[in-house]
Amino acid sequence: MLAGEVDEIFCGGNRTESGVLGFSVLELVRGAFPDSRAFESYVQSNTGHAVNVHYNSLGAYRVMNKFLVREGL
């Protein structure tokens, strides 16, 4: 899962802080993929929801591609 640091609309604030239920957004998303053999989460700094339109989108692509290569995809 890749999330933007400042994606307030879709991710609701800080991705790593515990919310009302005591879980962060990243932990809740992990629970949606219980059969995933290689689930990872990453928060791209200075980025909102539309990663493609941010100046630092190449950093997000780098993280995604490293994950895919590491998993042999």
User: Is the pTM here over 0.75, yes or no?
Assistant: no
Q: What is the tens place of the pLDDT at every residue in 19-43?
A: 556 667 777 788 888 898 898 888 8
The range of the structural domain enclosing residue 26 comes to 2-70
Q: DSSP characters for 18-41?
A: --TTS--HHHHHHHT-TT-SS---
In terms of Cα–Cα distance, which of 15, 44, 9 is closest to 27?
15
What is the reported pLDDT for 25?
73
Domain count, the chain: 1
Q: pLDDT class for 4, splitting at 50, 70, 90?
A: confident
Q: What is the tens place of the pLDDT at every residue in 61-72?
A: 999 999 999 998
What is the reported pLDDT for 61?
93
